[in-house]
């Protein structure tokens, strides 16, 4: 009996909860909640789009499918006066490059997918640039000095109207207008977003009424940061160009840079988002939590009605794409990194090599083959230097017994020993630094190529062969690092040395250390180092057996 009463109680309770809401709606005491229309309807934008964009007033735009929020029957003046939705709605628009979701709550971007980039080589999901975890401000949020107004703009419902749902060659430009108005306070906001076919750039026009102080347009929390990897090269986080100077710095708490703002960006190794304002007066960067950072640009106030224009870029760090924007964003790809700094000499060498790398790939269509060909080409350029270096080491090896004899003879007289060694090198015409100098001259090239293979998005998810399906990540089976370690052992065995046996044994640990280090390096880098080792071994064998065969390298001085 008790169990039957419990069941009856639960059924009646559920009926009361559901029936109460239903009866209120039927008697008109509770407004109908808006629903998303499943069938495309005719666009209501009409003259609104033409008024916002007079240049396009004569072009009649046909409505696109997949876009519409169902409303009650529009009144005669519904074109110019929009009623904000009662609940959050997300309108999705699409170009050939991106799929963007815009939320009516706060009038912010809620999703930004890159259609031409996958999240991983094993998954087909597109890269998502919007940070999805936690409750943070989305891109194009507005921060004012008035807490009440700021909360209203952040939590308020905007009306969302667009003259397109997707762009193509016949409809290359589309506009979206977001409006918010609070009749009680007189606060009003309008955001007009202009999307372009074939571009990651969105033009943004913002108009505020009822705001008298400078306000900030926010780029959004980690917008553009797909993966916060702790790599060897490049900065993850914020960057900005103010008064012609680029700063790449993520603060411990907050950072402000005042001046003429060209752009502010959030970036990771391969992707980024950027705000490029017209007339920005300061950059504000804030660390919100561990590996969470937001950035924004402060815009000046100009009376009770404020209008400002910006450009938003959100996409890959493609060198040509960033360079075409002509605002210096290509410098966020740091080709000059070396020993925890950026070196102009390395950058100057890296850019030509980068162009050559892409040129070769236009013929090979395989970046693994491209790396091998490019390494061979660079190796050929340095053959004369390598020859001189190898010859100098062989000569030093030839006079090593005499050097050891002098060291033993003058071990208690350092000054006399140095003089005798200099005389010995002069008599036998041997340069003691001849083996190192060519390597120093090659170092900028090696570091530049290292940077290119590690930093550029061109190698991201680029396959080579067999098990190497992504040259930007480590070899899953460690085959390349192990082979590379073996080639280092062979190279050590055939390279002339002046070290004593104890030092030589210690140096045998180097291949093991390098193998362990390169296990975590991208496969493209390991392939480059492996190819370079194989070519070096080949060159030394040919030099020994052909060029130096039966040829004395150390000539006894004349008596």
What does the pLDDT look like over 300-329, one tens digit per residue?
876 667 889 999 999 999 999 999 999 999
* Residue % of the chain over a pLDDT of 90: 41
pLDDT of residue 202: 97
- Specify the range with the lowest mean pLDDT, choosing from 39-43, 289-293, 359-363, 454-458: 39-43
Cβ atoms 173, 196 nearer than 8 A: yes
pLDDT of residue 441: 73
Say yes or no to pLDDT of 149 above 80: yes
CA distance 159 to 105: 9
Say yes or no to pLDDT of 394 above 80: no
CA distance 451 to 338: 9
Say yes or no to pLDDT of 24 above 60: no
Strand partners, 128: 113
* Residue % of the chain over a pLDDT of 70: 78
- pLDDT tens for each residue of 261-280: 999 999 998 999 999 999 88
- pLDDT tens for each residue of 524-535: 999 999 999 999
113 Cβ neighbours under 8 A, 6+ residues apart: 98, 99, 100, 126, 127, 128, 129
pLDDT of residue 507: 77
CA distance 187 to 144: 12
Say yes or no to pLDDT of 107 above 80: yes
pLDDT of residue 26: 45
Say yes or no to pLDDT of 61 above 60: no
pLDDT of residue 4: 41
CA distance 253 to 125: 34
Most confident range (mean pLDDT) of 169-173, 248-252, 506-510 is: 169-173
Say yes or no to pLDDT of 38 above 70: no
- pLDDT tens for each residue of 218-249: 998 999 999 887 655 567 889 999 999 988 87
User: What does the pLDDT average to over 18-22?
Assistant: 45
pLDDT of residue 147: 77
Say yes or no to pLDDT of 388 above 90: no
pLDDT of residue 548: 67
Mean pLDDT (the chain, rounded):
80
Say yes or no to pLDDT of 283 above 60: yes
Sheet arrangement for strand 90-94: 90-94, 98-103, 108-118, 126-128
- DSSP for 10-63, please give it: HHHHHHHHHHHHHHHHHTTSSPPPP---SS------THHHHHH-GGGTTS--PP
Cβ atoms 449, 531 nearer than 8 A: no
Say yes or no to pLDDT of 78 above 60: no
> CA dist 136 to 15, 68, 265, 288, Å?
38, 27, 17, 9
* Residue 135's pLDDT band (cuts 50, 70, 90): low
Tokens (6 digits) for 240: 């900005």
CA distance 124 to 134: 25
Say yes or no to pLDDT of 20 above 70: no
The residue written with tokens 């790396």 in the block is 371
Cβ atoms 528, 453 nearer than 8 A: yes
Domains within the chain, CATH numbers bracketed = 31-332 (2.70.98.90), 344-547 (no CATH)
User: What does the pLDDT average to over 1-13?
Assistant: 43
User: What does the pLDDT average to over 399-410?
Assistant: 82
pLDDT of residue 185: 81
The residue ranges of DSSP E strands in 119-242, in sequence order, are 126-128, 141-143, 159-162, 173-182, 187-196, 201-209, 215-218, 237-242
């Amino acid at each position: 009996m008790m169990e039957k009463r419990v069941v009856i109680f639960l059924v009646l309770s559920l009926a009361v909860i559901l029936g109460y809401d239903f009866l209120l709606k039927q008697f008109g005491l509770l407004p109908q909640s808006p629903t998303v229309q499943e069938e495309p309807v005719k666009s209501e934008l009409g003259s609104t789009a033409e008024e916002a964009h007079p240049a396009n007033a004569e072009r009649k735009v046909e409505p696109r499918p997949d876009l519409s929020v169902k409303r009650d029957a529009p009144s005669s003046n519904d074109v110019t006066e929009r009623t904000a939705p009662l609940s959050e709605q997300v309108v999705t628009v699409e170009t050939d490059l991106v799929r963007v979701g815009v939320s009516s709550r706060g009038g912010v971007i809620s999703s930004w997918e890159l259609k031409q980039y996958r999240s991983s080589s094993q998954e087909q999901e597109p890269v998502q640039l919007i940070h999805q975890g936690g409750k943070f401000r989305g891109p194009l949020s507005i921060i004012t000095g008035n807490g009440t107004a700021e909360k209203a703009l952040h939590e308020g419902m905007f009306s969302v109207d667009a003259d397109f749902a997707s762009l193509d060659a016949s409809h290359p430009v589309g506009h979206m207008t977001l409006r918010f108005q609070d009749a009680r306070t007189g606060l009003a906001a309008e955001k007009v977003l202009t999307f372009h076919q074939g571009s990651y750039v969105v033009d943004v026009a913002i108009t505020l009424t009822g705001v008298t102080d400078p306000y900030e347009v926010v780029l959004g929390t980690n917008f553009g940061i797909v993966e916060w990897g702790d790599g060897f090269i490049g900065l993850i986080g914020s960057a900005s160009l103010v008064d012609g100077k680029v700063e790449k710095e993520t603060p411990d708490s907050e950072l402000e840079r005042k001046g003429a703002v060209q752009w502010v960006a959030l970036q990771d190794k391969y992707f980024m988002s950027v705000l490029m304002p017209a007339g920005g007066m300061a950059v504000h960067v804030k660390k919100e939590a561990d590996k969470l950072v937001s950035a924004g640009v402060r815009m000046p106030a100009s009376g009770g009605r404020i209008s400002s224009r910006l450009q938003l870029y959100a996409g890959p760090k493609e060198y040509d794409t960033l360079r075409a924007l002509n605002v210096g964003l290509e410098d966020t790809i740091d080709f000059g990194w070396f020993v925890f700094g950026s070196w102009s000499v390395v950058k100057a060498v890296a850019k030509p090599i980068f162009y050559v790398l892409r040129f070769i790939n236009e013929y090979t269509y395989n970046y693994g083959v491209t790396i091998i060909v490019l390494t061979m080409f660079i190796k050929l350029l340095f053959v004369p230097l390598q020859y001189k270096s190898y010859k100098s080491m062989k000569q030093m090896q030839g006079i090593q017994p005499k050097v050891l004899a002098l060291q033993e003879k003058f071990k208690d007289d350092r000054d006399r020993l140095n003089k005798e060694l200099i005389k010995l090198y002069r008599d036998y015409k041997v340069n003691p630094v001849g083996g190192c100098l060519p390597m120093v001259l090659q170092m900028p090239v090696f570091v530049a190529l290292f940077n290119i293979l590690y930093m550029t998005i061109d190698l991201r998810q680029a396959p080579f062969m067999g098990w190497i399906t992504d040259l930007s990540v480590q070899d899953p089976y460690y085959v390349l690092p192990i082979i590379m370690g073996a080639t280092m052992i062979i190279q050590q065995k055939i390279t002339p040395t002046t070290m004593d046996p104890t030092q030589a044994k210690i140096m045998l640990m180097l291949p093991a250390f390098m193998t362990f280090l390169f296990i975590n390096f991208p496969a493209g880098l390991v392939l480059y180092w492996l190819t370079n080792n194989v070519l070096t071994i080949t060159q030394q064998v040919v030099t020994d057996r052909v060029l130096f065969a039966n040829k004395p390298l150390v000539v006894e001085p004349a008596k």
